[in-house]
Structure 1
Amino acid sequence: MEQPRYFDDHVLGEVRKTNGRTITETDFVVHAGHTGDFFPHHMDAEAMKESPWGQRIAHGTMTFAIGIGLTASVINPLSFTYGYERLRFPKPVFIGDTIHTELTITGLEPDPKRPDHGRIIEQVRVLNQRGETVLACDHIYLVQRKIAG
């Protein structure tokens, strides 16, 4: 188990990358069942043959859930998610694509509500096997300071 990391231990520009995960038809079906989103773009293979994509495209919410879930490889008891901003899906994800997530710390700032915590902003990029960005957002999380700022 890794040591807990305080806000003060993080460095601007720090990068981490996750392992990959291949998206399956089962992912589409399970996600549709969980969310109730059975939109034809995700579930109707025949209809999507005539679309600009030529096949079904993944739910954006599924891409988000899996892409962010891949980042949960280390538990830091000193931090928790505050939220996500500027979420975009610039390219579709298809069955058979393998995605991974790359995170870069782009901001370290005080938290105005909690002087004993700082805010870390991570640029999140989920990429497919061709290196194309399929999801982009900013992750803001709060991390305990060693010394209250």
Structure 2
Amino acid sequence: MFVKKYYEEFVRDDKRRTKGRTITETDIVLHAGQSGDFFPHHMDEEWCRTQPFKKRIAHGTLIFTVAIGLTAELVNEVSITYGYERLRFLAPVFIGDTIHVEVTIKEKKDHKKPGMGLVTELVEVFNQHRQLVMICEHLLLVNKNEI
């Protein structure tokens, strides 16, 4: 679905929550193949049993990718991703965990490019136990509605 949500329409502290997504072994194997990250933390069940988490963990980059994908429910025709900042992986995600994302409008400010504003979204990823597993800030470059 396509929408037009201009800079002025973003409201600080507005929140939205995505649907859930369960992380599977297939996700991990495909991500390893695409990224080249075959570290034993993700691929070697026997080795992982000797480590603190006792089982395989999902790649942080996989969780980031899935989480951001969950937030892409609408296409805003007047904004574009400007980047991500302050990315942190706070807790492991295991095969069978279900994650969802909560997005909060954190900040708005003018951008140096005329007619544009910068919107910062706080992106928080939780597992099924409401444990925060990942956090970052998503920067959006958004057109102003200068009528």
Asked if TM exceeds 0.5, the reply is yes
3-state SS of 2:71 partner = coil
Distance across 1 between alignment mates of 2:3 and 2:67: 24
Map 1:97-136; keep pairs closer than 5 Å: 97-112=97-112, 114-136=113-135
Give TM-score scaled by structure 1 length. 0.96
Counterpart residue identity of residue 139, structure 2: I
Distance across 2 between alignment mates of 1:84 and 1:109: 16
Paired position in structure 2 for 1:96: 96
Paired position in structure 1 for 2:139: 140
State the shift of 1:3 in Å: 3.6
Distance across 2 between alignment mates of 1:81 and 1:142: 6
Distance across 2 between alignment mates of 1:6 and 1:96: 38
Does the 8 Å contact 2:12/2:105 carry over to 1?
yes
Counterpart residue identity of residue 37, structure 1: D
Paired position in structure 2 for 1:25: 25
Distance across 2 between alignment mates of 1:43 and 1:3: 41
Counterpart residue identity of residue 143, structure 1: V
Paired position in structure 2 for 1:86: 86
Does the 8 Å contact 2:2/2:77 carry over to 1?
no
Counterpart residue identity of residue 93, structure 2: V
Deviations 1:12-65 (A, max 9, x none): 001011000000000000000000000000000010011110100110100000
Q: What is the aligned-residue identity percentage?
A: 51
Distance across 2 between alignment mates of 1:45 and 1:65: 23
Map 1:54-73; keep pairs closer than 5 Å: 54-73=54-73
Distance across 2 between alignment mates of 1:134 and 1:60: 10
3-state SS of 1:70 partner = helix
State the shift of 1:110 in Å: 0.3
Any gaps of 5 or more consecutive residues in structure 1?
none
State the shift of 1:115 in Å: 1.6
State the shift of 1:2 in Å: 5.6
Distance across 2 between alignment mates of 1:23 and 1:122: 24
Counterpart residue identity of residue 36, structure 1: G
Paired position in structure 2 for 1:51: 51
Distance across 1 between alignment mates of 2:48 and 2:3: 48
Counting matched residue pairs gives 147
3-state SS of 1:118 partner = strand
